[in-house]
């Protein structure tokens, strides 16, 4: 951890069970969050998409005592239902669900937005947006009261960034879904929020042709651009999992070193 990293008392999340979806490798935001939650005392489960990601996920989980791995491809309703069943069998109930999953076909991020295809639009929204609704519906029945659901979004939802394209439209729909899910799940005492992260070098980020420009602009213009890092995103995820954030729902919390707040 760097000297600017956020450290958490090991008791902040003790007694809580946190499920973090979307670990591809050690650079994944999901992994940063899973590790931070475990360091804060949580019992953590991570999910990965397929056999290719399995080895990484198992190796990473092996570094944290008690951490378990589960497979879940969110394009399948059966896989999501199976995950809910496996989590219930393993833990009985859970407290936190982190959705750190997105996908868009490469061509949709390479071509001009005007060339967005019907299939590309559908797939980006199915994996990056609908999946949050589906996992919230299947997993909320096993969530404890005052549970916390969170997802990862980006400023491209409200501002146009070159090459972010259909993913920006999907993030706008994701943020709207957060508000509607917060409305539905509030009566069960479950909170739903999004963390709008600044640029973090991950496998998905490398798939966005304009990523370096986005990252350079953020590093240069954000008040905290030089120090911002994934550890700060993970720190906010820990906060959203604690009871200290029990009054926050339907919100988008920016963790981008302040970039979103600047005029130029
Ligand atoms: P990542 O590639 O490490 O994570 C994306 C995850 O989505 C991977 O684990 C991948 O396997 C998973 N995924 C894709 N299709 C799936 C499917 N059908 N079923 C289950 N999982 C599937 O990249 P990341 O940057 O850590 O992305 C995590 C989240 O953070 C995404 O929602 C992304 O849009 C968001 N985000 C990233 C940044 C950034 O700069 N990296 C900034 C803001 C928001």
Cβ of residue 124 lying under 6 Å from some atom of ligand 1: no
Pocket mutation for ligand 1, best pick of 21, 23, 24, 193 (most atoms within 8 Å of C-beta):
24
- The whole-number pLDDT of residue 72 equals 98
> Ligand 1, closest atom to CA 154?
43
**At which residue do the structure tokens 């990484």 appear?**
56
Average pLDDT over residues 12-40: 98
What are 51-84's pLDDT values in tens digits?
999 999 999 999 999 999 999 999 999 999 999 9
Which is it for the CA torsion 137, 141, 145, 150, positive or negative? Answer: negative
Structural domain boundaries of the chain? 3-258
Q: Go through the chain and tell me how many residues it has.
A: 264
Pocket mutation for ligand 1, best pick of 204, 208, 236 (most atoms within 8 Å of C-beta):
204
What are 113-168's pLDDT values in tens digits?
999 999 999 999 999 999 999 999 999 999 999 999 999 999 999 999 999 999 99
- Taking the centre of ligand 1 as the mean of its atom positions, its distance from the CA of residue 249, in whole angstroms, is 22
- Taking the centre of ligand 1 as the mean of its atom positions, its distance from the CA of residue 149, in whole angstroms, is 16
Nearest to 230 by CA among 256, 210, 253, 207: 256
**At which residue do the structure tokens 């937005």 appear?**
113
- CATH T-level fold of 3-258: Rossmann fold (3.40.50)
Helices within the chain (DSSP H only): 29-39, 51-61, 77-91, 106-110, 118-125, 131-139, 165-185, 203-206, 211-221, 230-241
pLDDT band at 257 (very low <50, low <70, confident <90, very high): very high
Nearest to 210 by CA among 138, 252, 154, 151: 154
Residue pair 55/253 in contact by the 8 Å Cβ criterion: no
Query: Ligand 1 atom 3: the closest Cα is on which residue?
Result: 28
Query: Ligand 1 atom 13: the closest Cα is on which residue?
Result: 101
- In whole numbers, what is the pLDDT of the chain averaged over residues? 95
Q: Kindly list the distances between the CA atom of residue 170 and the CA atoms of 155, 182, 215, in Å, as whole numbers in the listed order.
A: 11, 18, 20
Hey, is 191 helix, strand or coil? strand
Average pLDDT over residues 224-251: 96
Active site residues: 154, 164
Cβ of residue 47 lying under 6 Å from some atom of ligand 1: no
Cβ of residue 214 lying under 6 Å from some atom of ligand 1: no
Pocket mutation for ligand 1, best pick of 172, 202, 209, 233 (most atoms within 8 Å of C-beta):
202
- Among 5-19, 99-113, 175-189, 208-222, the range scoring the smallest mean pLDDT is 5-19
Average pLDDT over residues 239-253: 97
Average pLDDT over residues 214-221: 93
- The whole-number pLDDT of residue 264 equals 86
Q: Is 141 exposed, middle or buried (0-12, 13-18, 19+ CB in 10 A)?
A: exposed
Cβ of residue 202 lying under 6 Å from some atom of ligand 1: yes
- Taking the centre of ligand 1 as the mean of its atom positions, its distance from the CA of residue 105, in whole angstroms, is 13
- Taking the centre of ligand 1 as the mean of its atom positions, its distance from the CA of residue 155, in whole angstroms, is 15
Secondary-structure percent of the chain, ordered helix, strand, coil, rounded to 5: 50, 15, 35
Structure tokens at 43: 């019992």
The proportion of the chain whose per-residue pLDDT surpasses 90, expressed as a percent, equals: 93
């Amino acid at each position: 951890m760097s000297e600017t990293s956020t450290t958490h008392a090991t008791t902040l999340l003790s007694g809580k069970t946190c499920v973090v979806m979307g670990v591809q490798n050690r650079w994944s935001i999901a992994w940063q969050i899973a590790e931070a939650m475990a360091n804060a005392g949580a019992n953590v489960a991570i999910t990965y998409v397929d056999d290719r990601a399995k080895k990484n996920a198992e190796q990473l989980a092996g570094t944290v005592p008690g951490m378990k791995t589960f497979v879940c491809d969110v394009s399948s309703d059966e896989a999501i239902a199976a995950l809910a069943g496996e989590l219930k069998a393993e833990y009985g109930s859970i407290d936190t669900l982190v959705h750190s999953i997105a996908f868009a076909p490469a061509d949709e991020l390479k071509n001009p937005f005007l060339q967005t295809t019907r299939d590309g639009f559908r797939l980006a929204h199915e994996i990056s947006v609908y999946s949050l609704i589906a996992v919230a519906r299947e997993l909320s029945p096993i969530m404890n009261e005052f549970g916390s659901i969170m997802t990862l979004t980006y400023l491209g939802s409200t501002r146009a960034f070159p090459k972010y394209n259909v993913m920006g439209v999907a993030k706008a729909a994701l943020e709207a879904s957060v508000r509607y899910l917060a409305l539905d799940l509030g009566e069960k005492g479950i909170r739903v929020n999004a963390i709008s992260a600044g640029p973090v070098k991950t496998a998905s980020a490398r798939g966005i042709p304009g990523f370096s420009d986005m990252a350079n602009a953020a590093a240069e213009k954000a008040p905290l651009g030089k120090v911002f890092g994934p550890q700060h995103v993970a720190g906010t995820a820990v906060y959203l999992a604690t009871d200290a954030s029990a009054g926050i729902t339907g919100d988008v919390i920016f963790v981008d070193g302040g970039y979103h707040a600047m005029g130029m």
